[in-house]
Structure 1
Amino acid sequence: MRRRTFLELSAGAAAAAAAWPAPAGASTRKRPDLIVEPGAAIQAAVDAAPPGAISPYVIGIRPGTYLGQVIVPAEKTHLEFRGLGRAPGDVVIADDRANGTLKPDGTPWGTSGSASVTLGGADFRARDLTFANVFDEAAHPEIANRQAVAVLTRADRLVFDRVRFLGNQDTLYVNSTAAGVIARAYFRDCYVEGDVDFIFGRATAVFDQCRIHSLDRGGTPNGYVTAPSTDVTNPHGLLFSRCRFTSDAAPASVYLGRPWHPGNDPAAAGRTIVRESWIGAHIGATAWSDFGTWPWRDARFAEYRNYGPGAARGDDRPQLTRSGAAANEITDFLGDWRPRRGG
């Protein structure tokens, strides 16, 4: 079978070349349908993918840094981005806009519009690469709204395997198409870093054996890991299972999360569970914070059998019971979808 290799992508055009050999160790995977070369545009590769696919369409991405906003529309289903380097850091997809960055028409992009990558197509997969928002806060003191999203998810059944997400405020926005709509995402062996609310939104998102790293802003508080806005009708929001929460920030200067109520929506009853995870000393005895007038105790926050210098029990650290933990496993969050078995 021949696969197209993108040598130059401009004005929606692409040059075809001979098939590219599959990377080492990939013999059991579907070979890439298309290869993106350094200097090309990821968006052009997305545009070239067939709409309405019912089986994976694999875009292989050669090592390099690819700058420019990428949008995967709803009709581009079963798309896969596969990094072809030796490590996730070899392939970087990035952009550099923030909420307050101005569009050509003089209006701000907003938080959603700041996303380097927006994923609207169901059954998307990414592996062995990095998504980043490289907006430089220090270089833009004139911009007050500095939320800068690396990835915004809107679709159901998304898988990220050995993927890095880099940013500062609002790095990873896990969302759905509307309040009350369930959208699931599964993160396996991933790395997510940021400072303020850097994993947030109303999606059902499972983080399985991931590293969650809080950057040191040098302030107090130093940051918040999560800001869930889970709809009250959804029992499953953000789940962290067997993860590592790390930071170079001062002890007890970071919170595990706070409840986000977009537009002051009272139905946004945030849900975050951290279970069987190692927690660093940057998390204090009070692990959760209020968000404006919204108290954290009215949200659905809980822990279970965590350990490490930042793990604790007490009135300010709600814990799942054994039966509660049994009802909040990874399979409970993902429902009838089994991404770890190829689903």
Structure 2
Amino acid sequence: MRRRTLLALTAGAGVAWGTPAAAHPRLDLVLAADGSGDVTTAQAAIDAAPSGATTPYVIGVRPGTYLGQVIVPAGKTAIELRGLGRSPSDVVIADDRANGTLKPDGTPWGTSGSASVTINGAGFRATNLTFANLFDEAAHPEITNRQAVAVLTRADKLVFDRVRFLANQDTLYVNSTAAGVVARAYFRDCYVEGDVDFIFGRATAVFDRCRIHSLDRGSSPNGYVTAPSTDLTNPHGLLFSYCRLTSDAPAGTVFLGRPWHPSNDPNAVGQTIIRDSWIGAHIGATAWSDFGTWPWRDARLAEYRNTGPGALVTADRPQLARAEAAAAEIPDFLRGTDAWSPECARRAV
């Protein structure tokens, strides 16, 4: 398993980048690890934000690495984290724990508890930065439950613009507060990296022109891109539009996904739609997999108008009809009952 180092994750750490928020009229607060801003830790920046905000509270994050678990409470709404570096790699917010990592009381953290960043506040936005889980699988052979989440979302109307998500198993957990509750998240020009089920959950999540990169685990199967657990009452699960699905893994060793039924919930009828995207050769002729006793054919898994060496059309690769595709565009997934439309969202053409 490839090991991540802080040097590989970030650049520019330790450089002074100016003055606190008072000198930046478009920022409400500046986070800087070197002490040149208003606060030095990501959690302190979240804690400083007002509760119940209806307009964005903008936190500028200067280049550096910010270690430690971060939790955005439900009452902290409309927070924006804005990376102030030249690229998303200049700002890294990360932690280091897995499902099986033990808490101080000797019990495991579990999958949700492993998250480096947990977002419970609605209207959260992140731009131009990196979220990572630094758990090193090779260094901890004693830990068998290796799910290590970089970001867990439970809130509605979230936007991630030019953000990197780095981990191995279970990188990005897009969830909601309860089964049957719809929570929407929009990812634009993002990079998501992992191996097993690394984009998963019951949220409505749209990936627009993102790169989805499967790591090479050195085994077969090499992993699964998605593990949707969309509630049966929700017509909109995971949508990938104009994305690039890439990997260094051998041809045909990665699956597009498998349907996850948390606690064997029969109403978790997962949906993943991949459309108008480029798919690498790591995806084979059979692109979907059963999840235990749950057959993939009973889930809502489909493709439409994809290209690339892994975009095969076979009996095991369900395709949307044109009319179905016309009703499965980005606005259809995000609109909801309140006509939400992120200002950076783009319609498929």
Q: TM-score, normalised by structure 2?
A: 0.90
Aligned pairs for 1:173-322 (under 5 A) are 173-322=173-322
The code of the aligned residue for 2:272 comes to T
CA-based RMSD: 1.1
- For the 8 Å contact 2:21–2:27, the answer to whether it is kept is no
Structure 2 CA distance for aligned equivalents of residues 155 and 308 of structure 1: 34
- For the 8 Å contact 2:20–2:29, the answer to whether it is kept is no
User: Which position in structure 1 is the counterpart of 2:113?
Assistant: 113
The code of the aligned residue for 1:96 comes to D
User: Which position in structure 1 is the counterpart of 2:42?
Assistant: 42
User: Which position in structure 1 is the counterpart of 2:28?
Assistant: 33
Deviates more, 1:292-301 or 1:33-42: 33-42
Mapped pair 1:338 → 2:341? yes
Structure 1 CA distance for aligned equivalents of residues 209 and 191 of structure 2: 9
User: Which position in structure 1 is the counterpart of 2:168?
Assistant: 168
- For the 8 Å contact 2:151–2:171, the answer to whether it is kept is yes
Other structure's SS at 2:199 match: strand
Other structure's SS at 1:323 match: helix
User: Which position in structure 2 is the counterpart of 1:128?
Assistant: 128
The code of the aligned residue for 2:340 comes to W
Structure 2 CA distance for aligned equivalents of residues 144 and 158 of structure 1: 32
C-alpha deviation, 1:289, in angstroms: 0.3
Q: Flag structure 2 segments of 5+ consecutive residues without an equivalent.
A: 1-18, 35-39
Structure 1 CA distance for aligned equivalents of residues 250 and 76 of structure 2: 44
C-alpha deviation, 1:32, in angstroms: 1.1
Structure 1 CA distance for aligned equivalents of residues 304 and 310 of structure 2: 13
User: Which position in structure 2 is the counterpart of 1:328?
Assistant: 328
The code of the aligned residue for 1:318 comes to P
Structure 1 CA distance for aligned equivalents of residues 88 and 30 of structure 2: 17
C-alpha deviation, 1:314, in angstroms: 1.8
Mapped pair 1:70 → 2:73? no
Q: TM-score, normalised by structure 1?
A: 0.92
C-alpha deviation, 1:19, in angstroms: 4.1
Number of residue pairs the alignment of both structures matches: 319
The code of the aligned residue for 2:126 comes to A
Structure 2 CA distance for aligned equivalents of residues 18 and 190 of structure 1: 28
Q: Flag structure 1 segments of 5+ consecutive residues without an equivalent.
A: 1-16, 23-29
Q: Report % sequence identity.
A: 78
C-alpha deviation, 1:340, in angstroms: 2.6
C-alpha deviation, 1:21, in angstroms: 4.7
C-alpha deviation, 1:315, in angstroms: 1.0
Which structure 1 residue ranges, 4+ long, deviate > 3 Å from structure 2?
Answer: 17-22
